[in-house]
Amino acid sequence: MVSNGNPHALPETGAVPAAARIRGLARRYGRPGAAEVMALRGVDLDVTRGEFTAVMGPSGSGKSTLLHCLAGLDRPTAGEVYVGDREISRLGDGDLTTLRRREIGFVFQAFNLIPTLSAYDNILLPFRLDGRRPTAEELAHVTSLVERLGLGQRLDHRPHELSGGQQQRVAIARALGTRPRIVIADEPTGNLDRRSGTEVLRLLRDAAATAGQTIVMVTHDPLAAEVADRTVFLEDGRITRVARGLSAREISEVMLEAEGAVQ
């Protein structure tokens, strides 16, 4: 049971603890009137521990906004976002930063690597930001990530000396290095060839299956979504469907229908 005195905390239910819950989430950009954009219009979503969720939807349907609100990188206009039992949209900036550093790994669409740091120092940055050195066991985990991502020969390079796909893999190693409870990835295979993309999806699957990490991934690729436990479909700021066990072909069909509806 929740006992931290947080008035916004929800009681725990069921055997599988929710890693995160989203309730009535709305996000408006711009002032009310002609210029306003409702990026999210009342989204409810639970993600459980060790679950791998893919998020799909047409361009502009609100996928990145959903990830940013879930990670505490953007503040909702209305609704609540719980990470564990903490309602993060009401946390102050300091608490939010600490929670993000300790509990959430984020792979940005634009990678967001630090240009003056080597690939290796970028990967170790979350430890440094948390004011600690990785343990020997954590360093071994980082080394294994680096090897699986094929980055061994590139660790001394700065981001501008790396290809887009290599930068993306550095960003993925950085998000997974500290084994955060929640890994949020915005198109993590978008710049990768099929082979590297497959390895990244395997890494995410393993993180969920063996370390119990919760993965939420936006993708436009039905083959990537097929690897997840379930796919959440967004359209015009709303969840229209949550499906498990769909093949890539079935996912494509849902997407084609949604894109048809947008045109």
Nearest to 46 by CA among 10, 77, 78, 76: 10
Contacts of 175 (CB under 8 A, 6+ apart): 105, 106, 107, 183, 185
Residue 57 binds ligand ATP, judged by CB under 6 A: yes
* Residue listed under structure tokens 């919760």: 214
Which tokens go with 48?
Answer: 């459980």
Which tokens go with 9?
Answer: 């905390």
Q: Given the rule CB under 6 A, which of 14-22, 61-69, 155-163, 196-204 is the region that contacts ligand ATP?
A: 61-69
**Is residue 235 a contact partner of residue 261, using CB atoms and an 8 Å limit?**
yes
Number of residues that bind ligand ATP (CB under 6 A): 12
Contacts of 131 (CB under 8 A, 6+ apart): none
Given candidates 59, 116, 153, 210, which one binds ligand ATP under the rule CB under 6 A? Answer: 59
Nearest to 243 by CA among 226, 256, 258: 226
Given candidates 53, 65, 214, 219, which one binds ligand ATP under the rule CB under 6 A? Answer: 65
Residue 69 binds ligand ATP, judged by CB under 6 A: no
What's the rounded Cα separation, in Å, for the pair 205 and 10?
28
Residue 140 binds ligand ATP, judged by CB under 6 A: no
Residue 76 binds ligand ATP, judged by CB under 6 A: no
Nearer to ligand ATP, 15 or 110 (CB): 110
User: Which positions from 28 through 47 interact with ligand ATP, judged by CB under 6 A?
Assistant: 29-30, 37, 39
Nearer to ligand ATP, 42 or 60 (CB): 60
Residue 166 binds ligand ATP, judged by CB under 6 A: no
Nearer to ligand ATP, 63 or 181 (CB): 63
Q: Which residues bind ligand ATP (CB under 6 A)?
A: 29-30, 37, 39, 57, 59-65
